[in-house]
């Protein structure tokens, strides 16, 4: 599954002062098939979040671990083994894995 990402700076600048984007202002050129590039600092933050999710998981706080993994996957769908961990947990709960890579 491919995701499309709007340029965040363009989105932020096109709210028309109402706080909600005006869809008429978006051009096809604003949408790409690639996720925004992550900075080294953000990658480090995501690694920290991933480690925190693992600690929560090992402590039996599986719902919290899932919440953190979902936050990571929303921002970086291909980040580490997050997709496969989520799929594993969804399947263990009888849910269908949805979106994002699974490994």
The upper half-sphere exposure of residue 90, i.e. CA atoms within 13 Å in the direction of its Cβ, equals 16
Q: Residue 87 belongs to what H/E stretch?
A: helix 82-92
Q: How far apart are CA 55 and CA 60, in angstroms?
A: 9
Pairing of strands 31-32, 5-6: antiparallel
Q: Is the predicted pLDDT of residue 11 greater than 90, yes or no?
A: no
- More confident position, 3 or 20: 20
- Say what the pLDDT of residue 98 is: 66
- Could you tell me the pTM of the whole model? 0.61
44-103 confidence digits (pLDDT tens): 999 999 999 999 999 999 999 999 999 999 999 999 999 999 999 999 988 877 655 444
Contacts of 65 (CB under 8 A, 6+ apart): 53, 54, 56, 57, 89
- More confident position, 54 or 33: 54
């Amino acid at each position: 599954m491919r995701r499309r990402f709007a340029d965040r700076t363009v989105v932020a600048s096109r709210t028309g002062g109402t706080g909600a984007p005006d869809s008429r202002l978006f051009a096809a050129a604003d949408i790409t098939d690639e996720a925004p590039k992550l900075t080294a600092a953000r990658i480090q933050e995501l690694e920290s979040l991933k480690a925190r999710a693992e600690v929560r998981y090992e402590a039996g706080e599986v719902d919290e671990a899932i919440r953190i993994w979902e936050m990571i996957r929303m921002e970086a769908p291909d980040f580490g083994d997050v997709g496969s961990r989520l799929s594993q947990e969804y399947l263990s709960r009888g849910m269908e894995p949805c979106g994002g890579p699974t490994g």
